[in-house]
Structures are given as structure tokens and as C-alpha cells.
Amino acid sequence: MTLAAPAPVWVKPAIFDSIAGVVAGFSTRLGGVSVSPFDSLNLGLSTNDTREAVLENRRRLFGAVGFEAGQLAITGQVHGAEVAVVETPGLYPGFDGLVTTTPRLLLCLSAADCASVLFARADGGMVGACHAGWRGAAGGIVARTVASMGDLGAEPGSLRAYISPCISVARFEVGPEVAACFDARFIVRAPGGKPHVDLKGAIVAQLIEAGLAPAAIEVSPHCTHTETTTFFSHRAEGGATGRMMGFIGICA
């Protein structure tokens, strides 16, 4: 994993390096035009940032990646488990996962503590992406995205996956009702303290259970909550913050 430069800055997964024709990444908060508290590469139109700044940030980032704003397919995101197979750009309300075989279409997910899980078939002919916060992860969004890719002919063993920067287990303190949604393997509790969820660990387990090989999964070591100079964090910044995007597409 490397940080692409110059600005705007995004995280480039290594797991897709050997797959010709696939571009993927996860944006940081660096290299945009937005002002505090959205400084500076805020990509979220759902925030209180100006629309003009967000659109300029998107133009800068995706232009550097090699795509135009009119080539983005963006999840509407309701923290659910619905997955759409898409062939055209646009916003897809109600969906937290997207899958495509269409070239020059960039699948995009918004995030500010939740994980973006990106997928590519080893031959580069199919890509997928899902937004996995705790509700989506507990609700099965990861397995449903793998299944949707399978419906289009991608065997799970042919897939590569990347789990983006998100909130770490050390910072993801939850109530008992949230902890109850996860297997005990992914709950950490200090003596007398509240439970913490290992979101990344839970997603890895779900990917393996869905048929991916452990060696085909890359997990970002970054924590959005502790690294707020680099990433936006909804929880650490009290909701007054911007949004990153996870993205993946077929170039040719």
C-alpha cells in the first residue's frame, strides 16, 4: 500500500497491482479545496460543505485517477445489505453495494469511519464495492456482494479484496446491543469496560466464509478515528466533518 502523490492524495491498495486494467483506491482528506471543518478533500455532498467545493474535490481526485465526474456510480447508502448490478453512472439510492463488468465506470462508496470493501476478479473483468459499517457488516453486505459477483460468473476463489481505513477495534466502543450483532471472536472487552467491535476482523472472516482465500485479502492498518490529520472521522470529530470515498473501476 502506498500513498499516491501529488495532491489530491489517496491510498492505493497493493492487492490489485497484478490485475491489469483495474484502478482502485481510498481517498484521504488531503489535497482539496474545502475549508474547516471539511478541510480539505471532502467528497460528501451529504455534508454541510458547499456543493461547489465538493464537486471541485471530486473533479480533482477522479481526474487524477483517470475518470470524469460523469463516469461515477455512487451508492446511496442506508447502512443496509442491498447490492445492485450497474452498467451506467449515477446515484443508486438504497444500495450499499455495487457490482459491474462495464469498463470506464467507477464504483464509489462514501465513508467517515465505516469500511469500504473493494473487489476485483483476478482477470480484471469484474469489480465490486460495498459500504460496511457495523449495520451493513452485521446484515450481510459483504457476503451479498460476493454472491452478486458470483451471479455474474465470478467464483469467490477468483476474487481479490481490500478493506479500507476505518475505525479500529481500539476506538470502536459500542453498546451491548451492537456487540450482540457480532460473533464473540470480534468483541474485545476490558475488565469492567464497554465492548469494542473488531470491524476489520469481522469483515475478513466474512470474506473467508464467502470463499475468498486469506492471501487474497488486504486489510488497511489505518484507523480513521486516531488519524484525523489524514482521514475524516465522524465519531472523533462529532459528526462535523467530511467524507472520503472508496473507489474501483475497470479502465479499459
User: Please, what are the domains in the chain?
Assistant: 2-250 (3.60.140.10)
Query: Mean pLDDT over residues 65-75, rounded?
Result: 96
Query: Mean pLDDT over residues 148-168, rounded?
Result: 98
pLDDT band at 35 (very low <50, low <70, confident <90, very high): very high
pLDDT at 6 over 60: no
Q: Percent of the chain scored above 90 by pLDDT?
A: 94
pLDDT at 5 over 50: no
* β-bridge mates for residue 160, sequence order: 120
Q: CA angle, 1 as apex, 211 and 232 as ends, to 5°?
A: 95
pLDDT band at 252 (very low <50, low <70, confident <90, very high): confident
Query: Are 242 and 113 a contacting pair, CB within 8 Å?
Result: no
Closest of 218, 186, 216 to residue 201, by C-alpha:
186
pLDDT at 3 over 50: no
pLDDT band at 191 (very low <50, low <70, confident <90, very high): confident
Quote the pLDDT of residue 67. 97
pLDDT at 51 over 80: yes
Reported as a single tens digit per residue, the pLDDT across 210-232 is 999 999 999 999 999 999 999 99
pLDDT at 4 over 50: no
pLDDT at 1 over 60: no
pLDDT, the chain, mean: 96
Helix (H) or strand (E) holding 200: helix 199-209
* β-bridge mates for residue 195, sequence order: 189
Instruction: Please give the single-letter amino acid code of residue 196.
Output: H
Reported as a single tens digit per residue, the pLDDT across 117-138 is 999 999 999 999 999 999 999 9
Q: Percent of the chain scored above 70 by pLDDT?
A: 98
Cβ-based burial of 192 (10 A; exposed 0-12, middle 13-18, buried ≥19): exposed
